[in-house]
Amino acid sequence: MQIHFERTGGFMGRKISLSLNLNEIPAEQAATLRTLIEEANFLTIEDPPPDAESARDQFIYMVAIETDKIHHIIHTTDTSMPATLRPLIENLSSLAHSGRR
Amino acid sequence: MHSHHSIFCITPPHMLQEVSRNGTSAQREMAQRTLTASEVFRARRVSLGGGVKASPLASSLASAVSGGKQRTIYDAKQGSNLPGSMVRGEGDPASSDPAVNEAYDGCGTTYDLYLNAFGRDSIDNHGLPLNSTVHFQKGYDNAFWDGEQMVYGDGDEDLPVSERLFNRFTKSLDVIGHELTHGVTQYEANLKYSNQPGALNESMSDVFGSLVKQYQRMHTAAEADWIIGEGLFTSNVNGVGIRSMKAPGSAYNDPVLGKDPQPAHMNNYVNTVEDNGGVHINSGIPNHAFYVIAIELGGFAWEKAGLIWYKTLTEKLKADSSFMDAANLTFQAATELYGSGSLEEQAVQKGWAEVGITLSGPPATNTGCFNSVMRAIGLG
């Protein structure tokens, strides 16, 4: 399973991104991500454009998950994301941050 | 610019109830506000006429709609629920939490600039309460306007000191002015948040955010630093702030964050789909035009350049206005304020020319409908 993550927008407008192959990262980290994906019911989340009618400077998140059989992509924002998705977004944001130095 | 709200003043309550349930988002909001105000005035009448004490909620609402600064700061306690727990209201003593005080004081200075320089009473010009939430999420290196309130993260407080790049976002006064101005823009030109209108939206927030800081410091245009997000970076970053209006593209150049990508000229306009079409990137162009005009005019930038921009934002720009529209309309505003052939008019022309935009004559403004009506009744 591969995960692609991007965060754009925000006050600074800076993009951070991350691509992971769960078969190539430490087993514990991969297990955590699999759990968060499952708990988010990720594959059932639809991908409407983020509702940014009047919100400004919010982060815009993109998460894509790929396997041999599945390719599912979603976009969301801080104020529009389902609560069940937030732990996965926070985990991916943290991983993207930790790889910056 | 609030003439589109007046329909609700003559609409009976039952119809307002219908609109508040079935209207568009903007219609629902206006109807609800009118209903709330009506409730307050009814409560006041009861209180004054019948000797019956109004409820605490009605009293609070009455205070809120009476104008003046109405700041409330909430604490999200590193969670995501908005607004969070109330921690400081208007007139309350200072908190032991610096983020709370920075949000409170920054909102106050922003309110003061809008009132004293432009005669504006809060975000909606009708005393809208100013609500802010601090400590949003954990490790959240951002601030935003959610359509109703301001929200601030704590930067990289979750990382070891040696790895932190961002301080808390309330630390920078111009960030607070920037976010509050998104609210002003929402109630006025309501510039779309993509491509050139989106970059103009961002630039308006940078312009007035910078003016708030200059106003607090009593800096002239020549004395001002013209940096947006001053104080946001930790000492680990090679940069002075997020953006520079004086020299877009020069605010930071860091091994981790990369280089400030802002252009200062149309020749370097960035075509991208990211960030809603580069709204935080291409805002460097109108930002620099404003800087050039402010320097050209001298003195305090909010007095002339700021007034021209404010008049343009509140009376002339439309939701889909382009950079060229903004150039022509600021020129028109300068003419109306200072006269044809004035130094102010010339400064506006020079400012836009320096970023590669040559004036081409005014497009239709958002007062077109009003003017048509005035003409139709013989007053135009």
- Chain A residues with beta carbon closer than 8 angstroms to that of B256: 100-101
CB A48 within 8 A of CB A99: no
Q: Give the pair of three-digit tokens for residue B37.
A: 């105000």
Q: Look at residue B151 and give its three-state secondary structure.
A: strand
Active site residues of B: 179, 280
- Looking at residue B55, what is its pLDDT? 34
The candidate with the shortest Cα–Cα distance to B120, out of B210, B249, B208, is B208
Share of chain B above pLDDT 90, in %: 75
- The closest CB to that of B142, out of A59, A86, A90, belongs to A59
- Give the N- to C-terminal CA distance of chain A in Å, as an integer: 26
B67 pLDDT more than 70: no
- Chain B residues with beta carbon closer than 8 angstroms to that of A92: none
Kindly state whether B149 is in contact with chain A, defined as any CB-CB distance less than 8 angstroms: no
pLDDT digits (tens, 9 = 90+) for B138-179: 999 999 999 999 999 999 988 899 989 999 999 999 999 999
Q: Give the pair of three-digit tokens for residue A20.
A: 């992971």
Separation of alpha carbons A29 and B243, rounded Å: 36
- Cβ of A12 within 8 Å of Cβ of B142? The answer is yes
Q: Which candidate in A8, A14, A15, A57 is best for mutational testing of the B interface (most B CBs within 10 A)?
A: A57
- Looking at residue B68, what is its pLDDT? 86
- Cβ of B144 within 8 Å of Cβ of A12? The answer is no
ipTM score for this prediction: 0.91
Which of B16-20, B244-248, B364-368 has the weakest average pLDDT? B16-20
Kindly state whether B145 is in contact with chain A, defined as any CB-CB distance less than 8 angstroms: yes
Give the mean pLDDT of chain B.
84
- Cβ of B143 within 8 Å of Cβ of A11? The answer is yes
- Cβ of B280 within 8 Å of Cβ of A12? The answer is yes
- Looking at residue B63, what is its pLDDT? 41
Mean pLDDT of B73-98: 97
- The closest CB to that of A12, out of B159, B242, B276, belongs to B242
- Looking at residue A52, what is its pLDDT? 58
Helix (H) or strand (E) holding B271: none
Q: Which residue has the tokens 């989340």?
A: A45
Share of chain B above pLDDT 70, in %: 77
Write the secondary structure of chain A as one string of H (helix), E (strand) and C (coil).
CEEEEEEEECCCCCCEEEEEECCCCCHHHHHHHHHHHHHCCHHHCCCCCCCCCCCECCEEEEEEEECCCCEEEEEEECCCCCHHHHHHHHHHHHHHHHCCC
- Cβ of B146 within 8 Å of Cβ of A52? The answer is no
Which of A78-92, B26-40, B174-188, B289-303 has the weakest average pLDDT? B26-40
B4 pLDDT more than 60: no
- Cβ of B141 within 8 Å of Cβ of A94? The answer is no
**DSSP letters for B175-197:** HHHHHHHHHHHHHTT---SSHHH
Q: Which candidate in B142, B195, B254 is best for mutational testing of the A interface (most A CBs within 10 A)?
A: B142
Which of A47-56, B17-26, B136-145, B199-208 has the weakest average pLDDT? B17-26
